[in-house]
Structure 1
């Protein structure tokens, strides 16, 4: 079961700022040194707060990790909904949303890709903290199963895009833009071909009077 942060329902502006400082310092530390080297004392020092302030917001290190993962999953939901929203009138917005998301990945990432890679190390240290990730993928796979497109076809396409995401996040993406775009188009054409738009009829031209 995922451990919650046990933060109060209502916090003062000062408390909110303190919590934000702790979260900001933790994100920076994890990206720089990894989750395995993180300790409460190091985060207290890096954030310029106190141990009492830390324990007010997070009862232990695991609670802090859980808060970071929940924040990251909120980001995934926000980006997925935004990109799928562009294709709500299509038969299958999921795969089109994935393609759109990956295409704009560098534009709207805001540093989350690097953080996501760093958080994966929690598998070795606090695997229970990754439950929100499991839940998010369970939701995606449920959408695949409920889709009008056959599950093996759509799942193959989704996992192909997951491969694109992770090679990009890990820094192994050496493909040029043209090759990737051609591959995205091929995947979509095979799995969720879009109806061709009818050419709009041009207005009749009239001779000048």
Structure 2
């Protein structure tokens, strides 16, 4: 890709999209500042203007992925047909986790990049999932059932991501519906 002219600026989100593309298409080991700059069509200096080092880039990738999941979760909470009932938070988590799109899977690649580079970069994710877990166990459902549902949804997501015997339709939808049924008051 040709380098952008100096007069054309690039947004951080475009650089993050290029970084995601590098990790998804070439693997975590290919995530270098040069590779991202090339994928974005900018100079390395243009990339460094937004992200002063690789760790800053990865931290921004993680935050972007986390923000996307939080937005999806909040959308599902707003769409919950029975808000303020036991399990409403668990049901929203099920629906948010069940989304089967490539952008959702980029989250995992970002996590791999962070863990490979500096596990401390995962702290925002750890904090978020700790908060999710606390909301799930205090959702008004039996904490054991709520936790089992969360772990099942996390497992559904991971098996699909890695291709570890991912569930095919209609079984996948049936499992999600079963989790939603278990999350009813």
So what's the TM-score if we normalise by structure 1? 0.73
What is the match of residue 193 of structure 1?
184
Cα 1:55–1:160 shift into 2, 3 Å: same
What is the match of residue 73 of structure 1?
66
Structure 2 spans left out of the alignment, 5+ residues: 1-7
> Number of aligned pairs?
176
More displaced, 159-168 or 63-72? 159-168
Contact residue 44 and residue 54 of structure 1 kept, 8 A: yes
So what's the TM-score if we normalise by structure 2? 0.82
What is the match of residue 154 of structure 2?
162
| Displacement after TM superposition at 1:98 (Å) | 2.9
Of 56, 67, 92, 2:49 maps to 56
Q: Aligned runs of 1:135-150 on 2, under 5 Å? A: 135-150=127-142
If you compute each CA radius of gyration, which structure gives the higher value, 1 or 2? Answer: 1
Structure 1 spans left out of the alignment, 5+ residues: 1-13, 195-209
Give the Cα–Cα distance (whole angstroms) in 2 for the partners of residues 168 and 44 of structure 1.
Answer: 30
Cα-Cα RMSD: 2.3
Of 160, 163, 171, 2:163 maps to 171
| Displacement after TM superposition at 1:18 (Å) | 4.1
